[in-house]
């Protein structure tokens, strides 16, 4: 599984929904890692008043490049 760097634009599963939205990576699993815990990202979703949400790494995917 790739690890996205802080500042990367990704698609993340918005909490309590089944929809993926554009977000910026605020913190990576490596920077947040706690022993024995599921890897997570901290994301700031577009149009969400600058709130940060924790999302499991398995629900964060690459943002498609526009060609």
Q: What is the pLDDT of residue 43?
A: 98
Nearest to 43 by CA among 8, 16, 17: 8
Can you tell me the distance from the alpha carbon of 67 to that of 56, in angstroms, rounded to the nearest whole number?
A: 29
Q: Kindly give, in sequence order, each residue whose CB lies less than 8 Å from that of residue 12, ignoring residues fewer than 6 positions away.
A: 20, 21, 23, 41, 43, 45, 53, 55, 59, 60, 61
User: For residue 17, what are its two tokens?
Assistant: 């929904």
Kindly state the DSSP code that residue 18 receives in the 8-state scheme. S
Confidence of residue 67 (pLDDT cuts 50, 70, 90): confident
Q: What is the pLDDT of residue 35?
A: 62
Q: Domain coordinates of the chain in residue numbers? A: 9-62
Q: Global pTM?
A: 0.88
pLDDT in tens, 9-46: 999 999 999 999 999 999 999 888 766 688 999 999 99
Pair 34, 47: CB distance under 8 Å = no
Q: Which CATH class is domain 9-62?
A: mainly beta
């Amino acid at each position: 599984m790739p690890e996205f760097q802080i500042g990367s634009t990704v698609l993340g599963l918005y909490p309590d929904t089944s929809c993926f939205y554009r977000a910026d990576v605020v913190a990576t699993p490596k920077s947040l890692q706690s022993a024995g815990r599921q890897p997570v990202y901290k994301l700031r979703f577009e149009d969400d008043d600058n709130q940060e949400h924790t999302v499991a790494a398995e629900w964060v995917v690459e943002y498609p490049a526009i060609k």
